[in-house]
Each structure stands twice: as C-alpha cells, then as structure tokens.
Amino acid sequence: MAELGGNALVTAVVAVNEHMRSVTNMFIAQIALGDIIMLLLAMPFDIISKHVYEDWSFGTVLCRSMSFCKDYSLTITILTLTVMSIDRCFILSRELRTYSIRTMKMFFIVAIILQLLSVSAAIPATIFSGVWRESTHTHSNDSAANASIRVCKLNDGSPNLLRVSLSRILLLYVLPLVIISISFTKINAFLRLTEAQVLLSENKKIVSACKRALHLLITLVGLYTALLLPTVMDIIVSFFIRGGSLYDNKWYSLCEFLVDTTLYAICVYKPVVYSIMSANFRRGFRELTCCSSHNLGKSRIECNDDESTLDTNEIWFNSDGSESSVQHDVGDRV
C-alpha cells in the first residue's frame, strides 16, 4: 500500500497546489496515474496467483484486464519520459523551441495522443492473453503424478506470438530508449558549446532548472531501463523455452519472483526519486500529510528555491526578458 500511497500523493500534490501545475509536473502526474492503475488492477492478482495460490483462479476477463493494465502502464510511463526528453531537447534549440510544450493546451493535446498510443499498444497482449493449463509434476508416495495449474499468459500456440513479443520489446524498451539516448546526446552536445556557455551564464536560474530537470529525467529513465530489463529477458526466454515442466522448477520460480519484483518496482521508485531530488515535491508532500496552512504559505513563498521541475522554456531570453543575442546557429547545432 505504500507504493500506491506514494503515487497518490504525487497526483494529489500536482492537483491541489496551483504552483505545482507546470507542464513537467503534469507529465509526472500522468505517469503516477498509470502506476496507480497497475498497482490496483494488475499487481494484486498477479502476485496472489503466482506466489500465493500458485494457480490462476480469477477468470479470463481479469487475466486480460491484468495484461492490458501492465502494458498500458509501462507504455504511458516510457512514452511520457520519451516526450519529456524530446521536449527538453527542443527547449534548448533556438529553431525548435517553438515546438516545445509550453502551454497547458499543448500538454493536453500531447497527453491525449500518448493515452491513445498507450491503449493501442496494450491491445495486442490483451487479445492474445488467456488462461491456460500447464502440466506439473507432484511427488506422492515416492511416485511422480501428473497435475496441472492454470496460468494467465500469452497464448504459446498462437502463430502471432513472436510478433506480439517483439512489438512489446520494441515499444516498451528498445525504440523509446534509442530516442531518449539521441535526445540526451544532443542536449549534451549543446551544453558543451562555447556559445551555449555564454547563453547559459546570462540565465543562471534557468540553467539551474535545466540541470535539475535533466538529472531528474535521467534518473527516472535509468531506473526504468534497469528495472524493466529482467522482464524483457523473461519475454525472450519464455518464447524460446516453453512447457509446463518449468513451473515446478524452483529456480524458474525464483526467477519469476525476481522478474515480478523488478517489474512492479517501476511503480514504486518514482515517488521516492521525486521526494529525494525535488524540494517542491517534498514540500507538497508535507502540505498534504501535515495539513498545515502555515507550511502551505511558507512553501509557496519558497517554491522558487528548487527548480527541478520548473519549466525552462525561457532559456533563450536574458534575465530582463529580452531575447539573447547569442548567434542563431546555436540551436541548429544541437
């Protein structure tokens, strides 16, 4: 329940506090909502069936719903992080900054597109998921007896299994991380430019916001990459190694437990990261948990002390609001 409460707090902080409703924080709230869906509608059924009852007894509808919630939550998380990375790259480019997400209207348009893409990406696994019986071996009176358990998983016998498995790996892992890596590479190249150093020296508060936001984003992406890797490996292994004999293998059961643990840890680490790396979120958490009007007023006064989730769309402007005189080709060289 702690992980569910953490994501609920993240969503509530952004919803309740007006000064927290920046584009970046709205994206963070969208990720938190996806995590809540997985924690409520997928994790309990998955953990109980695999590691408590060792049998799926919730029916086909809940099996497919669980598959949908898993892929939807993972897709909305990685697509949102991808868009945030691209947006940071656009913000740092003079020529492309007009395409950055600078208003709530643009955010809602992008958010709707991401929701539609996430729902579409979750449909294939939902269709091919089902409850299947897998044979196991039980030992009674020194003799082996055949038994079977019900398992919620993708249909091993489907000719489209390879296509579905590859599409999940590409959409949830490979393609987004390639795009994010390219964005971070371009951002790093820009920050190393001499012209960029001159520009950023004129906008000390904005450069601080850029660095904090990038550190937060890199941390979120890095942890997602590491925690989802066991699931990706499990998808690959499950495709090449099939058969019910795996289900009574203690080492396979241990690996499955570790895979599930790291998968659902994706929904847990983000509120912890926000609380560690963002003073604004820490203050927001205190406001909601302590319900102190004194702290509320104080935090609003001090909210500018931390810019880890501050929008940085004004990087091409001087502190007085005038446009920077740095050469226009800086943006082209990002």
Residue 265 has pLDDT above 70, yes or no: yes
The per-residue pLDDT of the chain, averaged, comes to: 79
208 in a domain, yes or no?
Answer: yes
Percent of the chain at pLDDT > 70 equals: 75
The CATH number of whichever domain residue 278 belongs to comes to 1.20.1070.10
Residue with tokens 């740095």: 326
At 292 the pLDDT is 46
pLDDT at 283: 82
In a domain, 323, yes or no: no
The pLDDT assigned to 306 comes to 44
- At residue 28, the pLDDT reads 93
pLDDT confidence band for 67 (50 / 70 / 90) = very high
Percent of the chain with pLDDT over 90: 37
| Three-point CA angle 218, 284, 268, nearest 5° | 50
Would residue 180 count as lying in a domain? Answer: yes
Stated pTM of the model? 0.83
Q: Per mean pLDDT, which of 37-51, 152-166, 204-218, 314-328 is the most reliable?
A: 37-51
Inside any domain, residue 334 = no
What total number of domains does the chain contain? 1
- The pLDDT value given to residue 148: 78
Q: By mean pLDDT, which of 109-113, 129-133, 170-174, 209-213 is the weakest?
A: 209-213
Which residues in the chain belong to E strands, given as ranges?
129-140, 143-154
Give the pLDDT confidence score for residue 21 in this predicted structure: 85
pLDDT greater than 90 at residue 280: no
For residues 76, 77, 83, 85, the Cα torsion angle rounded to the nearest 10 degrees is -170
pLDDT at 207: 65
14 falls within a domain: yes
Least confident of 93-97, 191-195, 325-329: 325-329
State which residues form the domain around 221: 2-308
Residue 202 has pLDDT above 90, yes or no: no
**What's the confidence (pLDDT) of residue 11?**
92
DSSP string covering 69-90: HHHHHHHHHHHHHHHHHHHHHH
In a domain? residue 333: no
- Residues facing 146 on adjacent strands: 137
Q: DSSP string spanning 8-59?
A: HHHHHHHHH-GGG--HHHHHHHHHHHHHHHHHHHTHHHHHHHHHTSSS--SH
- Is 320 part of any domain? no
List all residues 6 or more positions away from 237 whose beta carbon is below 8 Å from its beta carbon. Answer: none
Instruction: Flag whether 317 is in a domain.
Output: no
